[in-house]
Amino acid sequence: MSKNINFNIGLVHFGNQFGLDLEERLNQVAPFEDKNGDKVKIKAEHVEIHEIDLDYETSYDMIIDRGSHRFKQGIGILMTYAFKGIYVINNPLSFHFFIENKDVGYSIAKELGIKVPTTFILPPHTTPSLDGDDFRYHKIFEWDKMMEKVKFPCIIKPAGGRAAIAVNKADNMEELLYHYNESKEMIMTVQSIVESDNEWQIRCICVGRKIVPIKYIFRKMDGSEYIYDTEFLTPEQGKKVIESTRIINRAFGYEMNSVEFIIDKDGEPWAIDFNNPIPDGRASVLGPIFYNDYQDAFVQRAIEIATYKPKYLFLPKLNEYSEIAQMKISKEEKFNLALVEANKYYLDNQI
């Protein structure tokens, strides 16, 4: 005999409008039938903040996290919930490792056959924990040799963090050294600029299986622009962007992300930024169409999880992708194998 059951969703957003709107939409979902024939009603609310006993059992079946980076207690608690099998989006291990280690992300993507611009990772300018003889292992940077590969102009940006903080363009060595000297304890990356005939780039908003490529113009100080255009990519470009995004999201264990590409002068997409586990959710910038798509994708993913109740993996499937990266085959072959692995999620409705 079928039962009436609640599927409880906790949200972490701290009053952000996107989170408030999503909470309302989730609560408006009409009851639906799950795989067992039971009638399911979604109940969504912001998680309550309180002391946590180690024996505490949460009432939530699923948590959508768009705020733990602002509240340190939440990081460990969500990891504990995920360890116990609560479905957390994003996976908290992926979220809090890769957002602070984008340099690792560049290496993983490149090893899996995704086009990534030439990138160098610099030791921090200032290291308070080292002094005196500790620096005898440091070599003098070969700036000229490095820039022979990277070329000017280039981008210098932190390997950690979000919101385009300390991201700068350097047109010459003087500017590059200035920005590096100002970086203090941050690990910085120096990256080639992909030459393009377009003023825009591509930002893919990703939630669950939904990937929406958007024409996007990056500007600092919250001036970025999303442009509605359904035909700005050729079919071949669109296919490559979607496939590359699938691999990135699954290798990193993301179910919520934004992935950015630039189309070079030969029409090839290059991945330039793809560790954004809390993608931009401002309705004023996204516009009503993309905002609704974004919200609806969350609702759809919640319904899928409530319907099929997939087993939650505490550890992302990085080992499967690491095995592919270690194979003595071409980058194209690695890309194809990684895509097969990624499509197990994107093409299987019950995961």
User: Do the bridges between strand 62-65 and strand 87-89 make them parallel or antiparallel, or are there none, so unpaired?
Assistant: parallel
**Band of pLDDT at residue 117, cut at 50, 70 and 90:** very high
Region 325-347: what's the mean pLDDT? 97
* % of the chain exceeding 90 in pLDDT: 86
Q: Is 95 exposed, middle or buried (0-12, 13-18, 19+ CB in 10 A)?
A: buried
Higher pLDDT, 349 or 259: 259
**Band of pLDDT at residue 327, cut at 50, 70 and 90:** very high
pLDDT at 136: 86
pLDDT at 163: 66
pLDDT in tens, 290-317: 999 999 999 999 999 999 999 998 999 9
For the entire predicted model, the pTM comes to 0.95
pLDDT greater than 70 at residue 186: yes
The SS3 call for residue 229 is coil
Report yes or no: 206 and 245 within 8 Å, Cβ to Cβ. Answer: yes
pLDDT in tens, 1-37: 789 999 999 999 999 999 999 999 999 999 999 999 9
* % of the chain exceeding 70 in pLDDT: 99
Strand (E) or helix (H) holding 67: none
Region 175-184: what's the mean pLDDT? 97
pLDDT greater than 90 at residue 164: no
Phi-psi label, residue 164: left if phi above 0, alpha if psi -120 to 50, beta otherwise: left
Tokens 């009432």, residue located: 59
Higher pLDDT, 159 or 332: 332
d(CA 212, CA 102) in angstroms, rounded, equals: 22
Considering only CA atoms, which of 206, 235, 203, 204 is closest in space to residue 346? 206
Question: Which domains does the chain show, CATH number per domain?
Answer: 4-91 (3.40.50), 118-192 (3.30.1490.20), 201-276+317-346 (3.30.470)
- Mean pLDDT (the chain) is 95
Around Cβ 157, how many Cβ atoms within 10 Å?
A: 23
pLDDT greater than 70 at residue 98: yes
